[in-house]
């Protein structure tokens, strides 16, 4: 502040001197301030001014009053000297504070302190400058920009940000932001380069979508490539390639599915491998493993169906029940699920057939065991329940007692009308009712037969004959009839057979013939007929031996004397139909074999007399034709061994002369089965080794 005009300079007064002592001393170079300016500055900055005592405040007010060139008026009306007269304690306090602030001012104006403060200020300014220098500019908020008024640089910047997100939508947005730049704009070359890059990126994103299996998304993205970009020239070709690959893949998948439906999983596996040759990662890495797993699952299901079919063809009940469990486990999404559903009724039918077959064989326990194990998923519960009731009734009725038959009839009546086994149950009930009636008749016939009275025996036969052949008691009735009839006939025919035995006891031909005539009175429908026929045969043989034994003995005598032809002629006189006929025929065969041997062996001996290997071989062949039953068989065997040894001796002689090939050829003619055959084979091996063969 400038000093006001009109205020004369006056020498300092005591009060002014006191004020100067209370103000800080000014250092070197500090601007001089007037006394008049100190009071207003202190008033303007009270937080920087030191605290003042009441005396100092009063002095300041006095000094301000003097600076106005007006007469100084004091509030108290006391003379100036009265202001300087204060209590001693206040004076001392104010003096100490004045000294403190004076010392502080001197220290603040010291050059070392000023240097340190300057260095700190300059360092702080440097750090602040660097912070502002390296501080990034604020990123613009692109979504909130009003694009019609946006500068090209902002458009390009926001377009790059959008393209950096690498999505189809953002790439199209980036292209849309910069494509409106005029060709004469400075940023147009950079924008054109970026648009080409983004168009290529857009096509690459479409390719990526195709490889991920999103063909429609890929085609849609590819056809959004700007027409004025170089990448647009590749779009249609790329789309056609994608569609071709996708079409081939779907055709392969469809063919695999068709093959699996036909249960040809091997061909389906071969067809599925074609997916690996397609240029698409989705079909190679995702669909192919899925299809492979599907083929494996279908193969397992087909195996289950095959096992089920084999169980139907020739499996046991246990095999069929296991097959039902396997087939029922086939998932409804399987390609052979319908085949599995069609297979289940067949399995159930086959199980019921096995149970029925067991019941037909009257193996009721096995039939019930099979029926009770038929699984519920075959939906045959009602049929199985009816079958169990029916078989249980059959098992009870098979015991044959009246109470069992009555209980069996009551059980089958539980099967309601309209059920598949109803008609069968009614037929069984009718049959068992007939068996109840037959059982009563059979019991009455047995009681009558026990009496032994001829009349009651005839009544028993008549009662038993009324039993129906379709009942279980029919066999017992026939047996009873046969027993009663046999007993009656035996009683009637026994005297005839006893009389025949008495006639045959004499042993001569006439007595034997009379016994045969007596026994022939028993007819073929009589109980003793077989016994009578056996006696007749025995007596006939006895007659034949008596009549033709001399002829047999004479034939043996002729054969022993060597007259085989005469012996054969004697035996041929025995007529057929007699017991001696078979004996005669056996002897004729024996004598003829002997005669044949006697003709063959001399011929063989004559042929062997030639002495050559070939003659000896032919002689051996003839001798071997002698029958084994001929007495000359032993003689023929000895001759064969002798002649085979002669052949070997000839071969050994040839070898001694050095003719090994001839010796081998001769030794090979030794027939197998002769005593010389083994030695001949050994010699052949030795001679071949000597020849180096």
* Average pLDDT, integer, range 304-316: 89
d(C-alpha 88, C-alpha 139), whole Å:
71
* Average pLDDT, integer, range 393-422: 88
pTM over 0.85: no
Residue range 435-446, pLDDT digits in tens: 888 888 888 888
Burial (0-12, 13-18, 19+ Cβ within 10 Å), 206: buried
pLDDT over 50 (residue 13): no
Mean pLDDT of the chain: 76
Residue that the structure tokens 């010796």 belong to? 663
pLDDT over 60 (residue 404): yes
pLDDT over 80 (residue 685): yes
Higher pLDDT, 306 or 491: 306
The answer to whether 543 and 575 have CB atoms below 8 angstroms apart is: no
Which of 362-366, 383-387, 623-627, 664-668 shows the lowest mean pLDDT across its residues? 623-627
* Average pLDDT, integer, range 94-121: 69
Q: How confident is the model at residue 92 (pLDDT cuts 50, 70, 90)?
A: low
Q: Tokens at residue 400, please?
A: 């044959």
Q: Which of 19, 44, 28, 203 is nearest to 101 (CA)?
A: 19
Residue range 213-258, pLDDT digits in tens: 989 988 888 888 787 777 778 788 889 999 999 999 999 999 999 9
- pLDDT for position 148: 66
- pLDDT for position 479: 87
- pLDDT for position 252: 94
- pLDDT for position 64: 38
Which DSSP string corresponds to 315-341? Answer: --HHHHHHHHHHHHTS-TTSTTHHHHH
Task: Tell me which DSSP letter residue 185 carries.
Answer: S
* 190 alpha carbon, distance to own chain's centre: 62
- What percentage of residues in the chain have a pLDDT greater than 90? 12
* Average pLDDT, integer, range 339-351: 90
- What percentage of residues in the chain have a pLDDT greater than 70? 75
Higher pLDDT, 667 or 633: 667
d(C-alpha 339, C-alpha 204), whole Å:
46
Q: Which long-range contacts (C-beta less than 8 Å, at least 24 apart) are formed by 252-259?
A: 253/287, 253/291, 256/291, 256/295, 257/335
CA distances 397 to 88, 371, 390, 434, 442, Å, are: 149, 19, 11, 12, 17
* Average pLDDT, integer, range 313-322: 89
- pLDDT for position 287: 92
- pLDDT for position 149: 57
Half-sphere exposure of 279 (CA within 13 A, CB side): 8
Residue range 366-377, pLDDT digits in tens: 999 999 988 888
- pLDDT for position 62: 39
Q: Give, for 47, the enclosing helix (H) or strand (E).
A: none
d(C-alpha 618, C-alpha 74), whole Å:
188
pLDDT over 90 (residue 602): no
- pLDDT for position 388: 92
* Average pLDDT, integer, range 582-601: 71
Q: How confident is the model at residue 54 (pLDDT cuts 50, 70, 90)?
A: very low
The answer to whether 594 and 631 have CB atoms below 8 angstroms apart is: yes
- pLDDT for position 231: 74
CA distances 217 to 205, 214, 224, 280, 423, Å, are: 10, 5, 11, 15, 68
Which DSSP string corresponds to 606-634? Answer: HHHTT-SHHHHHHHHHHHTTS-TTSTTHH
Residue range 508-540, pLDDT digits in tens: 878 888 888 888 888 888 878 888 888 888 887
Q: How confident is the model at residue 146 (pLDDT cuts 50, 70, 90)?
A: low
E strand residue ranges, 640-693: none
Find the angle CA(364)-CA(369)-CA(373) to the nearest 5 degrees: 145
Q: Tokens at residue 619, please?
A: 């002689």
* Average pLDDT, integer, range 658-673: 87
CA distances 423 to 395, 428, 577, Å, are: 19, 9, 60
Q: Tokens at residue 279, please?
A: 């240029």
Q: CB within 8 A of 395, min separation 6: which ones?
A: 364, 365, 368
pLDDT over 90 (residue 545): no
Q: Tokens at residue 302, please?
A: 């087909």
Q: Tokens at residue 184, please?
A: 């004469």
- pLDDT for position 100: 67
The answer to whether 305 and 263 have CB atoms below 8 angstroms apart is: yes
579-608 vs 613-623: helix axis angle to the nearest 10? Answer: 170
Q: How confident is the model at residue 16 (pLDDT cuts 50, 70, 90)?
A: very low
Q: Tokens at residue 14, please?
A: 């005591």
- pLDDT for position 562: 63
The answer to whether 348 and 311 have CB atoms below 8 angstroms apart is: no
CA distances 171 to 150, 179, 234, 484, Å, are: 19, 12, 18, 115
Q: CB within 8 A of 555, min separation 6: which ones?
A: 567, 568, 570, 571, 584, 587, 591
Range 53-73 burial, b when 16+ CB lie within 10 A, else e: bebbebbbebbeebbeeeeee
Q: What secondary structure, in 3-state letters, does 542-584 show?
A: HHHHHHHHHHHHHHHHHHHCCCHHHHHHHHCCCCCCCHHHHHH
Q: How confident is the model at residue 598 (pLDDT cuts 50, 70, 90)?
A: low
Higher pLDDT, 577 or 16: 577
d(C-alpha 593, C-alpha 570), whole Å:
17
Which of 8-12, 150-154, 243-247, 291-295 shows the lowest mean pLDDT across its residues? 8-12
- pLDDT for position 139: 53
Residue range 350-368, pLDDT digits in tens: 999 999 999 988 899 999 9
Longest dimension (CA), the chain: 214
Residue range 546-581, pLDDT digits in tens: 767 777 777 777 766 666 677 777 777 777 766 677
- pLDDT for position 77: 40
Dihedral of CA 606/609/610/613: which sign?
Answer: positive
pLDDT over 50 (residue 616): yes
The answer to whether 465 and 479 have CB atoms below 8 angstroms apart is: no
Q: How confident is the model at residue 59 (pLDDT cuts 50, 70, 90)?
A: very low
d(C-alpha 304, C-alpha 226), whole Å:
57
Q: What secondary structure, in 3-state letters, does 201-246 show?
A: HHHHHHHHHHHCCCHHHHHHHHCCCCCCCHHHHHHHHHHHHHHHHH
- Number of C-beta neighbours around residue 390 at 10 A: 23
Helix/strand/coil percent split, the chain, to 5: 75, 0, 25
Dihedral of CA 249/255/257/260: which sign?
Answer: negative
* Average pLDDT, integer, range 306-328: 90
Q: How confident is the model at residue 143 (pLDDT cuts 50, 70, 90)?
A: low
* Average pLDDT, integer, range 165-179: 72
- pLDDT for position 270: 93
pLDDT over 70 (residue 45): no
Which of 60-69, 236-245, 449-458, 596-605 shows the lowest mean pLDDT across its residues? 60-69
Q: How confident is the model at residue 85 (pLDDT cuts 50, 70, 90)?
A: very low
């Amino acid at each position: 502040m400038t000093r006001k005009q009109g205020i004369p300079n006056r020498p300092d007064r005591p009060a002014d001197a006191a004020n100067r002592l209370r103000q800080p001393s000014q250092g070197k170079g500090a601007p001089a301030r007037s006394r008049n300016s100190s009071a207003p500055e202190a008033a303007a900055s009270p937080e920087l001014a030191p605290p003042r005592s009441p005396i100092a405040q009063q002095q300041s007010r006095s000094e301000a009053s003097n600076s106005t060139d007006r007469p100084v008026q004091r509030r108290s009306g006391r003379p100036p000297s009265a202001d300087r007269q204060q209590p001693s304690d206040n004076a001392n306090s104010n003096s100490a504070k004045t000294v403190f602030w004076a010392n502080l001012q001197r220290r603040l104006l010291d050059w070392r302190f000023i240097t340190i403060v300057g260095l700190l200020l300059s360092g702080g300014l440097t750090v602040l400058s660097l912070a502002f220098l390296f501080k990034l500019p604020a990123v613009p908020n692109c979504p909130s920009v009003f694009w019609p008024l946006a500068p090209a640089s902002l458009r390009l910047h926001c377009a790059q940000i959008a393209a950096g997100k690498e999505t189809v939508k953002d790439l199209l947005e980036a292209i849309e932001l910069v494509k409106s730049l005029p060709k004469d704009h400075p940023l147009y070359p950079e924008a054109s380069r970026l648009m080409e890059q983004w168009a290529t990126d857009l096509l690459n994103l479409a390719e990526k979508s195709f490889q991920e299996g999103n063909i429609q998304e890929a085609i849609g993205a590819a056809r959004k490539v700007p027409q004025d970009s170089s990448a647009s020239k590749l779009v249609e070709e790329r789309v056609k390639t994608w569609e071709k690959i996708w079409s081939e893949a779907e055709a392969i998948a469809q063919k695999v599915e068709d093959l699996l439906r036909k249960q040809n999983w091997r061909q389906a596996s071969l067809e599925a491998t074609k997916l690996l040759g397609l240029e698409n990662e989705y079909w190679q890495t995702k669909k192919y493993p899925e299809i492979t797993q599907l083929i494996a699952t279908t193969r397992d299901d087909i195996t289950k169906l095959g096992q089920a079919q084999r169980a139907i063809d020739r499996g046991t009940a246990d095999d069929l029940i296991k097959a039902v469990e396997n087939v029922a486990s086939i998932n409804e999404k399987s390609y052979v699920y319908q085949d599995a559903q069609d297979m289940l009724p067949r399995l159930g039918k086959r199980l019921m057939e096995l149970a029925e077959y067991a019941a037909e064989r009257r193996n009721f326990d096995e039939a019930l065991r099979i029926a009770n194990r038929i699984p519920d998923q075959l939906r045959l519960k009602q049929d199985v329940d009816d079958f169990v009731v029916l078989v249980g009734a059959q098992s009870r009725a098979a015991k044959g007692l009246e109470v069992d038959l009555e209980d069996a009839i009551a059980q089958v009546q539980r099967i309601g009308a309209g059920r598949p086994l109803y008609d069968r149950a009614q037929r069984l009930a009718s049959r068992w009712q007939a068996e109840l009636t037959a059982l009563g008749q059979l019991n009455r016939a047995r009681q009558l037969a026990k009496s032994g009275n001829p009349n009651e025996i005839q009544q028993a036969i008549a009662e038993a004959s009324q039993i129906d052949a379709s009942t279980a008691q029919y066999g017992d009735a026939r047996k009873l009839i046969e027993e009663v009839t046999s007993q009656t006939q035996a009683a009637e025919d026994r005297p005839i057979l006893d009389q025949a035995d008495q006639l045959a006891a004499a042993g001569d031909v006439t007595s034997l013939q009379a016994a045969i005539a007596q026994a022939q009175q028993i007819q073929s429908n009589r109980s003793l007929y077989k016994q009578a026929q056996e006696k007749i045969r025995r007596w006939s043989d006895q007659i034949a031996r008596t009549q033709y034994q001399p002829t047999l003995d004479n034939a043996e005598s002729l054969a022993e004397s060597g007259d085989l032809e005469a012996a054969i002629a004697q035996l041929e006189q025995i007529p057929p139909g007699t017991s001696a006929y078979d004996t005669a025929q056996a002897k004729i065969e024996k004598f003829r074999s002997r005669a044949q041997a006697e003709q063959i062996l001399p011929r063989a001996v004559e042929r062997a007399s030639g002495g050559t290997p070939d003659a000896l071989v032919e002689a051996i062949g003839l001798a071997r034709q002698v029958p084994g039953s001929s007495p000359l068989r032993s003689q023929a065997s000895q001759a064969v061994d002798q002649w085979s040894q002669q052949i070997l001796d000839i071969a050994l002689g040839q070898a001694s002369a050095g003719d090994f090939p001839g010796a081998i050829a001769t030794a090979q003619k030794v027939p197998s089965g002769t005593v010389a055959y083994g030695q001949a084979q050994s010699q052949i091996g030795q001679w071949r080794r000597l020849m180096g063969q």
